[in-house]
Amino acid sequence: MANNKKRWYDYLWIWSIIYFSLGFFNILFAWLGMVDFLLPLLIALIGGNKWFCNNLCGRGQLFSLLGGKLGFSLKRPTPKWMSSKWFRYGFLVFFLAMFGNMVFQTYLIFAGADSLREVIKLFWTIKVPWGWTYTAGLAPGWVAQFSFGFYSLMLTSLLLGLLAMVFFRPRSWCAFCPMGTMTQGICKLKNKVRK
């Protein structure tokens, strides 16, 4: 008989909702997302597995819930190109370049070469004013700039994931999620070294 007993980490989708909601009140909470950024890498590096993806990813759980149980998905097969190597690695390179650019913008504020931009950039292009979530002086400018940039990345990837969820299978985003691609790459490398 299948074991349907829920574990505490089966509810991490709630954390995902809380995280994105907090960004509407105070942008500095965006830093909490670094846990979801670093933990999968750490688990893959130490354990050589995708335990994070399979058990701890609140975002993946949220897609399963919304697209699966709640029916917000057309559940069409995930297109083959989405999980192809060229697309997954191409998207990873693009994502890392955007991440690097965000870190550089943060550095410019830190170095006093630019001023704080209180906007969220959706899909790396659409600037949305987001100034109500930050009170000047609450944190150093670069800390706030990183928050705006990082939240932009997180929100953009959530929206892309939701779009993929609606039109295809609920967890289609996982086919090309940069974190998934990176952890998979680390696991492959680790297993090769072990052999």
Chain positions contacting ligand SF4, by CB under 6 A: 40, 53, 57, 59-60, 173-174, 177, 179-180
Nearest distance, CB of residue 178 and ligand SF4, angstroms: 8
Nearest distance, CB of residue 158 and ligand SF4, angstroms: 10
Write the DSSP string, the chain: -------GGGGHHHHHHHHHHHTTT-GGGGGGGHHHHHHHHHHHHHHSS-HIIIII-HHHHHHIIIIIIT-----PPPPGGGGSHHHHHHHHHHHHHHHHHHHHHHHHHHTTSS----EEEETTTEEEE-GGG--TTSS-HHHHHHHHHHHHHHHHHHHHHHHHHHHS-TTGGGGT-HHHHHHHHHHHHHHHHH-
Nearest distance, CB of residue 40 and ligand SF4, angstroms: 5
Contacts of 155 (CB under 8 A, 6+ apart): 20, 23, 120, 122
Q: In terms of CB distance, is 38 or 136 closer to ligand SF4?
A: 38
Q: In terms of CB distance, is 154 or 177 closer to ligand SF4?
A: 177
Q: In terms of CB distance, is 105 or 183 closer to ligand SF4?
A: 183
> What is the number of the residue whose Cβ is closest to ligand SF4?
180
Nearest distance, CB of residue 119 and ligand SF4, angstroms: 25
Q: In terms of CB distance, is 143 or 182 closer to ligand SF4?
A: 182
Q: Which residues face 126 on adjacent strands?
A: 122
Q: In terms of CB distance, is 28 or 57 closer to ligand SF4?
A: 57
Nearest distance, CB of residue 180 and ligand SF4, angstroms: 3
